[in-house]
Structure 1
Amino acid sequence: MGSLYRSEEMCKAQVFLQSEAAYACVAELGELGLVQFRDLNPDVNAFQRKFVNEVRRCDEMERKLRFLEKEILRADIRILDTGENPEAPAPREMIDLESCFEKLENEIQEINTNQEALKRNYLELTELKHILEKAQQFFEEIDYHHDFQIRDVDKDEESHTMLGEEGLRPGQAMSFGFVAGVIQRERIPAFEQMLWRVCRGNVFLRLAEIDTALEDPSTGDEMQKSVFIIFFQGDQLKTRVKKICEGFRATLYPCPESQGERKEMALGVNTRIEDLQAVLSQTDEHRQRVLSSAANNLRVWFIKVRKLKAIYHTLNLFNLDVTQKCLIAECWCPVSDLEQIQIALRRGTERSGSSVSSILNRMETIEPPPTYNRTNKFTEVFQEIVDAFGIANYREVNPAPFTIITFPFLFAVMFGDAGHGLIMTLFALWLILREKQLANTLAKNEMVGPLYSGRYIIFLMGLFSIYSGILYNDCFSKSINIFGSSWKVGSMINKTDLSQPGSFILNPADSFAGSPYPIGVDPIWQVSNNKLNVLNSLKMKLSVTLGISQMVFGVILSYVNYRFFRQRMDVYLVFIPQLIFIMFIFGYLILMIFLKWFLFDDTNSSEAPSLIITLINMFMFTPPLHQLYTGQLVIQHFLVVIAVFCVPFLLFGKPTYRYLVHTGKLGKAVNYRDVRMLKPGGSDELRGIVDQDELGEGDLEASVEYPEDRSTEGHSNEEEFDLFEEMIHQSIETIEYCLSLISHTASYLRLWALSLAHAELSDVLWGMILADTAFTINGFFGGIMIFITFSVWACLTVFILLMMEGLSAFLHTLRLHWVEFQSKFYSGGGYIFAPFSFATILDIRDELHHD
């Protein structure tokens, strides 16, 4: 919890690596994942760095692996994933990997080329086979039908004979020239039209569809083709016909004129087709064997190549010593993990066989370190919610541990239904219990992946919703009478009234039994006509109480930040006035809410004052109509005066103090701000982030050890002070804080509004679909209607109340945390700690691959 509550203490370090040990040391650090390297060559072009050739070789290997992966997936072969995570290969293994990948690529490409050529020959023979069959059928029809007509290609689809009115005689058919071929079916209409126009109706076309789809050798797509025979007379028409066929990508094949030659050719074609089928089958089996063998190792190869590439890319960030024997790196790392990092460096040095050990030195710096919060699979989703608003400043209070409780609780206040919460809890529990099985399927789905990632927060939201549903006594819009009602039914209320919701009004003076319901809301309010009035008043006051309490807690957390960073004057000039302002106005409002609950009952409820009117009168210095306690007017005047006085104190206090410090009237002027300094050696404790306006000369020198060069990374020795700019900045912060307290308090009323909307919508679904439809029909048809309407009600409940209403409540809860709560103490101006980690690199690549 310590690391989650406040980010890990970080230090900047310098690493000296021997050239022969650099690769192995970086590989060990990549497996550890606790070091964030800095680029020491920002002005050097990527193509001019030392290890650019190795990176290019890794890119080429990755390209070859992607080619193999594409071929494996196209062959519908499953890629084996054993979960193995091999270590980064040694540099000398790169040659072996390159040789293996090149051999596989060449072999697959050769197989693909041969297979494509064989498939093309097979396609041509298949088309020739169909041409011979269709031509044989055509000429047989001519022999047996003297009045046979050939289809013309004119626009009107008219039928013309080859020899006018007399038709085509058997002995005259072969006196005409003809060509035969195949064409894609969708091109036939345009093909016919072009033949008609170019040849002016002097050719005759016969078409026949090929029943089976043919495979394109290049793409593998199926093609629908038709056989055609074109008759013409003369060489001129022959030339035109061939050019038209070429333009429409029709394939022409030789077709003998005599029947015997056609049969003989058909026998030869069938024989060659059978031989090609055998060769294609053997080729495909060989290709499958090669790809299956590659599929068993493909994932391991990908991991090795990506680790190789990541290591060389990281080495390009280092500086090369002038002796060319040492690489120098700078990095950020957690102070608590320095020992593990040292062990990893020693292990890398031993693996490389180097005799000189690597050196890790901590550096003094004024740069702001990155923010690193350790998380696990439970706390990760809550940290991501906070980080989505902004990364915490270094060692700033992290809202994530508080969000673990407040987020599902505020969600449940708006989603208070025990039945809906139970469904949500069971769904999240299923995701949690089967998280390992779903990690490779559901987690990588773009639509439902967020549900898997947020399984723990959904589980907590469901549990809190069950709790709030019990308090509201609301389960699928119905109340449950477990302990018996605490109200007594008077003579004015009969059983008929109880069976009809909203038919009577509950009056505590007449019907209350004297002992409250043991937990939550009494179930009799479900059938009362004044149910909404009572529950709305209760929920509205609870919403205001919860909202102000959370905002006060946020202001208190700002004090924790000031205290930790030793910003003592911010405690006096910012925190205390802010706390007084919110407590004297809005804290007093909560006090009046509880006083009203305790001081008024059914006997004097008519005398209870309106809290809004009381608050307005408080600012108008008007005496209250009904006093809640003795001396109320004096106390309210005192609270308003002190709260109003805090506004100029907030407005002018801090700028004035900064001006006095800058002019030297409160001690020696300091020319820099926000000096961040880690104590070198000895203790691992943060020395503090010292502001120029908080410590005197002696305190400052005792707390901060000055680095030799205070101008590092853009920090200058001289920093200008502009009083006007400070005043503008502080004015904005003061106005924003004071006015936002009013708007933020009103914003928490969404807890009441969404709770009301959810309950009413659930009640409407129950009444319109079940109560007013299915439950009004008796007998056999009533049972059928209940089954049908219950299915409709269940679907609408899941899609509208659980999914849509749940998402709405989630977004509103998100806003309450980001704006109303975190704005009181959380800056969110830091940057995330992004260590060099093989696990992170491989996860990102896998996500990109699946996308």
Structure 2
Amino acid sequence: MGELFRSEEMTLAQLFLQSESAYCCVSELGEVGMVQFRDLNPDVNVFQRKFVNEVRRCEEMDRKLRFVEKEIKKANIPVVDTGENPEVPFPRDMIDLEATFEKLENELKEINTNQEALKKNFLELTELKHILRRTQQFFDEVCWWWVVFVAGVIGRERIPTFERMLWRVCRGNVFLRQADIEDPLEDPATGDHVHKSVFIIFFQGDQLKNRVKKICEGFRASLYPCPETHQERKEMAAGVNTRIDDLQMVLNQTEDHRQRVLQAAAKTVRVWFIKVRKMKAIYHTLNLCNIDVTQKCLIAEIWCPVSDLDSIQFALRRGTEKSGSTVPSILNRMQTKQTPPTYNKTNKFTSGFQSIVDAYGISNYREINPAPYTIITFPFLFAVMFGDLGHGILMTCAALYLVLRESRLIAQKNDNEMFNMIFAGRYIILLMGIFSVYTGIIYNDCFSKSLNVFGSGWSVRPMPTTLKDNHILQLDPAVPKVFSGPYPIGIDPIWNIATNKLTFLNSFKMKMSIVLGVIHMTFGVTLSLFNHLYFKKPLNIYLGFIPEIIFMVSLFGYLVLLIFYKWLAYDAKSSKEAPSLLIAFINMCLFSYNDPTNKPFYTGQVVIQCLLVITALACVPCMLIVKTLVMRRQYLWRRHLFNFADVAVHQAIHTIEYCLGCISNTASYLRLWALSLAHAQLSEVLWTMVMHMGLASRNFGGFFALSIIFAFFATLTVFILLIMEGLSAFLHALRLHWVEFQNKFYTGQGFKFMPFTFDGILEGKFED
């Protein structure tokens, strides 16, 4: 078995890194991305580790950069992404970076503070301007004997409550006048635009004055001084307008300066993020190492693929040279009994299929990997349920668009989670579409219609039947000269207009599902043999694999042979005399052969079937009892290695689950038949109820009606038959692989190889 079918061979190695070169060596290992560090200080608190201060400094720099990024986004300035991969800064560069970020943060905070103060002053002057503009009208409407008043501005939505409160507290001894400010005003603290109103309150006496001011304070109203005479108000308004103009000029200059600072920062903020987070990742990794008592050497333990040892050694040499150290770092392979992590090499094509397998569970170390087989079986089983030539072509074209434009789509960095998920599985969708085209040809189904390319093998002329509604009442193969031969590829198109079409397709697809299911499960059991051979477990071969494969083949393998035998032994003319497969299989398991209505398929069928059932039943105690007794004997020899009771219970559960699972799993593959028929029937219903109406119209206006109906038909086809039905078939194919296929040989109880790498930082994930 090649490396493609098993995880990479891993090894545990020890690194001896000089203090001067440790930082640079870890940096180079992060660029290689093939090393998983082990924590050698599990009992040491994170706040007591050697490089905790450096990690804190990096976190502080990261905080400052997030503040800068927030300000950049608030100003709607795009962050420049040139795709640059900056080198990791040296430790001595941290001081310069800290000074740069400190200066930038302080400058932005100072600008924001000044700008907020200026905006607050601008708001107050603007509100005072509106008060002075409105008060003359208010004074003209009020009698001369109201000698005391207050004026201010309040939120427009508070006016009704504010007026009621004044009336109740002052017992109607106040007179309120208010007018809306047409343009919204900007809140200097939040930047939101709010609608406000100018008000003036007339009253008499100091007691009412105190009450009015407290109410205004409670409703967050801003009070402003307002002269009593018209001339004084006019002079104050002129001064306010002059101050507003001067303040507006200062605000514009401040905003221009802020924009220049943020635009300059936007050009380098991504590079700064990468540098800081690379440094933080390195120091976090160094905290996993042990420090030698001499304080001059760091000791690390790593998991790494054996095939990458040379590149790791070369990275250590590069790190040593970059640091200027004269003492080289040492890489020493270690002997260990610990279980290594699992690492499966993938590329952009295989990564999607590997993700399907890993979603079930990470394979044990060096356990056979189902992903290479899933590349073929998954899209094929999907296509069996989804098979339609037209729908398959549409799916293939959509996937081809994603594949051919993948470089441009990756560069665009779409934030839509649904699109990113579909884009990650573009090669899965491509194969599903291609296989759907193939099964659509086999089913001879294209948008619920058959294609008559080679000419039908059936002739209805000799049949003593009539047509009804353009449908053949019944295809009767017993009539001479009706059937001339099979269609060259796929199902004969004449079945599409036969009234017994559904009966025929039911029989065909049900048998096909059983055949595919048994082959798929038998292949899964066969793969378990390679695991037993690789891990050198002869007991699992002789008392595990052999009884399992015999049990499977004796019952369900024989059923598949009967299906093929029935297809070959009975032709169109003798098909009515063929016995029922279901009744025959049930009678076989019950040893019931006295049913005269169900004739045998061949001579000697009773003896062979009885022998097969007895053989299958004999495999059960072989797995359940014999293997358990042999394991008990091994337990007596090696008592300290495992708990026999747990092993016995596990073996009993495994045996019962396998035997019952062979039955339930075989029945589970009937979903291939059910979903295929459901997809075909739904497609036919959609065609009949939508497109048939448009095509039946013969007048001139029918062209426009057909255009509208076709648009409606296309929309329903995409959303219902492609997306909803495609997702349903995808989930059922996923279940068949996880439950019916992988449980025959795949344990999936390992843990994933998580290398120290900078790739995640380079993807621009700054929000983490």
Under TM normalisation by the shorter chain, which class is it?
Answer: over 0.9
What is the letter of the counterpart of residue 582 of structure 2? I
* 8 A Cα contact 1:501 1:528, kept in partner: no
* 8 A Cα contact 1:9 1:334, kept in partner: yes
User: Structure 2 matches for 1:654-669, cutoff 5 A?
Assistant: 654-663=627-636, 669=637
Counterparts of 1:56 and 1:188, CA distance in 2 = 51
- 1:274 aligns with 245
* 8 A Cα contact 1:371 1:832, kept in partner: yes
Aligned mate of 1:472, from 431, 439, 443: 443
Give the deviation of 1:781 after TM superposition.
Answer: 2.8
- 1:9 aligns with 9
Give the deviation of 1:719 after TM superposition.
Answer: 3.2
- 2:100 aligns with 100
- 1:85 aligns with 85
Structure 1, unmatched stretches of 5+, are 143-147, 151-167, 664-668, 672-717
Q: CA RMSD in A?
A: 1.6
Counterparts of 1:501 and 1:328, CA distance in 2 = 84
Give the deviation of 1:503 after TM superposition.
Answer: 4.3
- 1:129 aligns with 129
- 2:400 aligns with 429
1:823 and 1:847, CA in 2 relative to 1: closer, same or farther beyond 3 A?
farther
- SS of 2:622's partner is helix
Aligned mate of 2:342, from 371, 374, 383: 371
* 8 A Cα contact 1:442 1:448, kept in partner: no
- SS of 1:92's partner is helix
* 8 A Cα contact 2:273 2:766, kept in partner: no
- 2:474 aligns with 505
- SS of 1:362's partner is strand
- 1:637 aligns with 610
- 2:563 aligns with 593
Aligned mate of 1:438, from 409, 434, 440: 409
What is the letter of the counterpart of residue 604 of structure 1? S
Give the deviation of 1:783 after TM superposition.
Answer: 2.0
Give the deviation of 1:438 after TM superposition.
Answer: 1.8
Q: Percent identity?
A: 64
- 2:76 aligns with 76
2:667 maps to 1:758: no
2:236 maps to 1:317: no
Counterparts of 1:533 and 1:320, CA distance in 2 = 76
1:428 and 1:281, CA in 2 relative to 1: closer, same or farther beyond 3 A?
same
Q: Describe the superposition over 1:299-321 as per-residue Cα deviations: whole angstroms up to 9, x where unpaired.
A: 00000000000000000000011
Counterparts of 1:396 and 1:594, CA distance in 2 = 35
- 1:346 aligns with 317
2:534 maps to 1:564: yes
Aligned mate of 1:578, from 523, 536, 548: 548
* 8 A Cα contact 1:38 1:317, kept in partner: yes
Counterparts of 1:246 and 1:493, CA distance in 2 = 100
User: Structure 2 matches for 1:489-504, cutoff 5 A?
Assistant: 489-490=460-461, 497=467, 500-504=469-473
1:250 and 1:278, CA in 2 relative to 1: closer, same or farther beyond 3 A?
same
- 1:19 aligns with 19
What is the letter of the counterpart of residue 37 of structure 1? F
How many residue pairs match? The answer is 764
- 2:53 aligns with 53
* 8 A Cα contact 1:391 1:829, kept in partner: yes
Counterparts of 2:573 and 2:122, CA distance in 1 = 100
TM-score, scaled relative to structure 2: 0.97
1:236 and 1:358, CA in 2 relative to 1: closer, same or farther beyond 3 A?
same
Give the deviation of 1:501 after TM superposition.
Answer: 4.9
Aligned mate of 1:544, from 492, 495, 514: 514
Give the deviation of 1:721 after TM superposition.
Answer: 3.9
Counterparts of 1:443 and 1:617, CA distance in 2 = 59
Counterparts of 2:132 and 2:165, CA distance in 1 = 25
Q: Describe the superposition over 1:366-385 as per-residue Cα deviations: whole angstroms up to 9, x where unpaired.
A: 11111000000110010000
* 8 A Cα contact 2:14 2:300, kept in partner: yes
- SS of 1:330's partner is strand
Counterparts of 1:194 and 1:817, CA distance in 2 = 71
Give the deviation of 1:848 after TM superposition.
Answer: 4.9
* 8 A Cα contact 2:17 2:329, kept in partner: yes
* 8 A Cα contact 1:29 1:836, kept in partner: yes
* 8 A Cα contact 1:662 1:670, kept in partner: yes
User: Structure 2 matches for 1:317-466, cutoff 5 A?
Assistant: 317-441=288-412, 443-466=414-437
* 8 A Cα contact 1:183 1:249, kept in partner: yes
2:132 maps to 1:211: no
* 8 A Cα contact 2:463 2:476, kept in partner: no
Give the deviation of 1:440 after TM superposition.
Answer: 4.9
- 1:703 aligns with none
Give the deviation of 1:442 after TM superposition.
Answer: 6.3
- 1:846 aligns with 765
Counterparts of 1:419 and 1:212, CA distance in 2 = 58
- SS of 1:439's partner is helix
Counterparts of 1:756 and 1:543, CA distance in 2 = 12
Counterparts of 1:29 and 1:422, CA distance in 2 = 45
Counterparts of 2:224 and 2:318, CA distance in 1 = 72
- SS of 1:111's partner is helix
Counterparts of 2:249 and 2:532, CA distance in 1 = 82
- 2:668 aligns with 747
Give the deviation of 1:725 after TM superposition.
Answer: 3.2
* 8 A Cα contact 1:25 1:347, kept in partner: yes
1:751 and 1:501, CA in 2 relative to 1: closer, same or farther beyond 3 A?
farther
Give the deviation of 1:643 after TM superposition.
Answer: 1.0
Counterparts of 1:293 and 1:25, CA distance in 2 = 33
* 8 A Cα contact 1:493 1:504, kept in partner: no
- SS of 1:21's partner is helix
Q: Describe the superposition over 1:98-118 as per-residue Cα deviations: whole angstroms up to 9, x where unpaired.
A: 000000000000000000011
Give the deviation of 1:729 after TM superposition.
Answer: 1.5
* 8 A Cα contact 1:444 1:847, kept in partner: no
User: Structure 2 matches for 1:94-173, cutoff 5 A?
Assistant: 94-139=94-139, 142=140, 148=141, 168=143, 172=144
Give the deviation of 1:620 after TM superposition.
Answer: 2.7
Counterparts of 1:223 and 1:76, CA distance in 2 = 21
Give the deviation of 1:492 after TM superposition.
Answer: 5.0
* 8 A Cα contact 1:8 1:371, kept in partner: yes
Aligned mate of 1:256, from 217, 227, 232: 227
Give the deviation of 1:3 after TM superposition.
Answer: 2.9
* 8 A Cα contact 2:362 2:749, kept in partner: yes
TM-score, scaled relative to structure 1: 0.88
Counterparts of 1:208 and 1:87, CA distance in 2 = 62
Give the deviation of 1:486 after TM superposition.
Answer: 1.7
Counterparts of 2:731 and 2:342, CA distance in 1 = 26
1:848 and 1:751, CA in 2 relative to 1: closer, same or farther beyond 3 A?
farther
2:39 maps to 1:44: no
- 1:790 aligns with 710
- 1:831 aligns with 751
Counterparts of 1:545 and 1:459, CA distance in 2 = 25
Runs of 4+ in 1 over 6 A off after TM superposition: none
Give the deviation of 1:806 after TM superposition.
Answer: 0.6
Counterparts of 2:82 and 2:412, CA distance in 1 = 15
* 8 A Cα contact 1:443 1:450, kept in partner: no
2:689 maps to 1:768: yes
Counterparts of 1:440 and 1:182, CA distance in 2 = 51
Structure 2, unmatched stretches of 5+, are none
What is the letter of the counterpart of residue 52 of structure 1? V
Give the deviation of 1:842 after TM superposition.
Answer: 4.7
* 8 A Cα contact 1:581 1:646, kept in partner: yes
- SS of 2:700's partner is helix
Counterparts of 1:93 and 1:85, CA distance in 2 = 17
